[in-house]
Structure 1
Amino acid sequence: MGKQRVVVLFGGQSSEHEVSCLSAQTIIKNIDTDENDILMVGITKGGKWILVDELADIKNNTWREKGYEVVISPNAEKKELIILKDETYKTQKIDVVFPVLHGLYGEDGTVQGLLELSKIPYVGCGVLSSAVSMDKLYTKIIVDDLGVKQAEYVGIRRDELKDMDKVIQRVEAKFSYPVFVKPSRAGSSCGVSRADNGKELIDSLRLAADHDRKILVEEAIKGREIECAVLGGEEVVASGIGEILAAADHAFYDYDAKYNSEESKTVINPEMPKEVVEKIQQASRDIFMAVDGFGLSRVDFFVENGSNEVVFNEINTLPGFTSISMYPMLFEAAGIDKKELVRKLIQLAVERQEA
């Protein structure tokens, strides 16, 4: 049996473009080249798909100026990559796609829909689970029925901000400050901010509206920020837990704290009562299955100060795979290194298509 051809899709049109490029480098380095041939396809912020020759081009951030334009054929009988070259084209058969795309137009069911149409196996969650998990408001609606505690929230549409006074009154009638304001569909804490008063709430709502037409305002939970990784298809395995320690000069673990602050830290398997860890692991599996998850996700929680109450925050269906990302670190701590983790994810993608 010959090698299978794996297409790694990265970049994308979302605000997480740069993080995707970092994640892709980790994944490409850990794909077993004895079993797989790798095709690297970068998507620019403008939406152009480019065949990338060298991993160094991603690292050096020069891939956008090189390579031929490509498209994935939607023809399910072909299962191929079309490479546009010198006013003609050639094709390459595809066995599996690893969409290393965070955020909109990648983690939200759009690329998954193309791959379903093409009947090409792909890593990760399907159309439904990707779409509802990307949308924090709909995720909360689903989790409401699971009996898992989550932060109280108010959903707001961008067009409602035309009457800002009315929006502020609605939020203040439900919560006291501080509150957190989030775009409903954005990742890596992009567009997320904390508001400590009415003026800051207005600024936060406008910032969130720059990222999405739906906005989520949540009560502030005082507690530890905890993450759990899940892996699987029919059988779902939950990792141990990791704790986020945001830099002292950041009010919360925002995009800047995640990727630009050397003071922010992650702690794998921090000290915590066994029953609390088990509750987090069970909730992670339950939420993953409730959104019809498949392959991988990272599920984020708060553990409230004093009570140790577990409070669900959000689920990410294509979590970061950078050198500082929690998802691969949690499974490494559980004895599954990055190479084996990537192998399992690709294997799951193929098995789902064959089922």
Structure 2
Amino acid sequence: MTETKPRILILFGGQSSEHSVSCVTAAGVLKAIDRQRFDVVPVGITRSGDWTLIEADAQDWTLTGGKLPEISSVTTPVQLVRENDAVVLRTLADSKIENLHTIDAVFPLLHGPFGEDGTIQGFFELNGVPYVGSGIAASAIGMDKHFMKIIFESAGFAVGPYEVITAKQWAQNSEECLHRCAALQFPLFVKPARAGSSVGISKVDTAEGLRAAIEIARAEDPKVIVEQGITGREIECGVLGGRGTQPSRASYPGEISMTDSEHSFYDFEAKYVDGAAAHVSCPAELSETAIDEVRALAVRAFDAIDGEGLSRVDFFYTPQGQWIINEINTMPGFTPSSMYPQMWAKTGVAYPELIQELIELSLERKTGLR
């Protein structure tokens, strides 16, 4: 008898503003995943939240030129349900329920709200299906830049000065909110508290620009965080969960430096559209001591939020040699050219191997090793 291959549901698209980034990520994974080892079932989520089976599973989606990639229509509506002791992908055909596939694990390549914030993770937990990435609490903490900073401060990390503006605070007294933020040292970075891919972020150099920047951020999330700019190098490090009871692993660190004066910071355009806007070097040009320090700090941050699977941890390295943590991303950009896979490739784990390792880690959840 031949051993049955694990069947992996690749889930992408979603209801957040990062829908198109998710589609590009999925295209990369679908092309690189080892079909000899895994059966693959691609499923897309439309912007309205409908699930559909994707027939063409390796599209040439990009974020440059023409229309952005999107799951715009439902061809074969599907739903994931628990049936007895199995997790089944089913559809409604000719008014009859039809089971299409039994699913062994889900690889949710979803960014932003409803995909990276613990929401979909709770759905997977309810259905008892293993999945790639962090659990409910870690995903929620990793998505909220405010709560993330609280956790990191309590774990002993250095965190830059910041202010938080909730929807109620802004509605009750926006002037008081502006006054609090203006007390920070400019430049400031105004961000949606629960969004990613640099969507809705503005760099503000004077108090006069604060209100408009806050409104831009509020269009993505009613909760806004305003961070004081930090003088230092931007260093990132990838973390990969350990097998069984083994410790988590850190990649070599990478550094982002802006090369295009049209971009004042590493925004959405610089990340995904303008390939010449930034330069990424890995390993970053640091001393061996500094490299060891940041790798250890990245694992500490991952463990501090009880992370699982994968994360990218971002730091500032000041001229005084201090590490200041910026944020953790529990579902970082995962296209072949994204920072997280690039750092692991430089560390000796190629993109297809990284995909395989993450799936194997998710399948371990069946054994209770959590």
Whether TM exceeds 0.5 here: the answer is yes
Alignment of 1:119 onto 2:131: no
Q: Out of 295, 298, 323, which is 1:284 matched to?
A: 298
3-state secondary structure, aligned to 2:341: helix
The 2-side partners of 1:66 and 1:214 are apart by: 32
Alignment equivalent of 1:97, drawn from 96, 100, 106: 106
- Give the one of 279, 285, 290 matched to 1:265: 279
**Could you say if the C-alpha distance between residues 63 and 46 of structure 1 is closer, same or farther in structure 2, counting changes exceeding 3 Å?**
closer
Choose which of 340, 346, 350 in structure 2 pairs with 1:327.
340
CA distance in 1, matches of 2:211, 2:330: 30
Distance in 2, matches of 1:275 and 1:68, equals 54
- Identify the residue that residue 194 of structure 1 maps to in structure 2: 203
Q: The residue matched to 2:15 in structure 1 has which SS?
A: coil
1:64 aligned residue: 72
| Cα separation, 1, equivalents of 2:87 and 2:185 | 54
Task: Report matched runs for 1:139-288 at 5 Å.
Answer: 139-162=148-171, 163-173=173-183, 175-233=184-242, 234=245, 235-246=247-258, 247-263=260-276, 264-288=278-302
The residue number in structure 2 matching 1:302 is 316
- Residues 179 and 218, structure 1, Cα contact 8 Å, conserved in 2: yes
2:13: which partner in 1? 11
- From 69, 79, 87, the counterpart of 1:79: 87
TM-score, normalised relative to structure 1:
0.95
1:312 to 289, 301, 325: 325
Partner of 2:352: 339
Matches of 1:42 and 1:2, distance apart in 2 = 25
Amino acid at match of 2:174: M
Q: Which moved more, 1:52-61 or 1:179-188?
A: 52-61
How far apart, CA to CA, are the structure 1 residues paired with 2:348 and 2:47?
A: 36
**How large is the RMSD of aligned CA atoms in angstroms?**
1.6
**Distance in 1 between the 2:285 and 2:20 partners?**
33
| Alpha-carbon separation, structure 2, partners of 1:148 and 1:15 | 30
Q: Contact 1:178–1:220 (CA<8 Å) still a contact in 2?
A: yes
**Which deviations, in whole Å up to 9, do the C-alpha atoms of 1:84-136 show, x marking residues without a partner?**
22332311211110000011110111111111111111111111100111011
Q: How far, CA to CA, are the matches of 2:289 and 2:49 in structure 1?
A: 46
Unaligned runs of 5+ in 2: 63-68
Alpha carbons 1:298, 1:315 under 8 Å: kept: yes
2:188 and 2:323 map into 1 onto residues whose CA distance is 19
Name the structure 1 match of 2:66: none
Do residues 88 (structure 1) and 96 (structure 2) align?
yes
The verdict on how the C-alpha distance between 1:59 and 1:86 changes in structure 2, with shifts beyond 3 A counting, is: farther
Which stretch has the larger CA shift, 254-263 or 15-24? 254-263
Q: Which residue of 2 aligns with 1:49?
A: 51
Q: Partners of 2:305 and 2:84 in 1: how far apart?
A: 26
Q: Return the offset for 1:176.
A: 2.2
Q: Work out whether residues 229 and 327 of structure 1, in 8 Å CA contact, stay in contact via their aligned partners in 2.
A: yes
Contact 1:276 1:310 in 2 (8 A): no
- The code of the aligned residue for 1:311 comes to I
Q: 1:201 to 1:190 in 2, by over 3 A?
A: same
The count of corresponding residues between Structure 1 and Structure 2 is 353
In 2, the alpha carbon distance for the partners of 1:58 and 1:106 equals 23
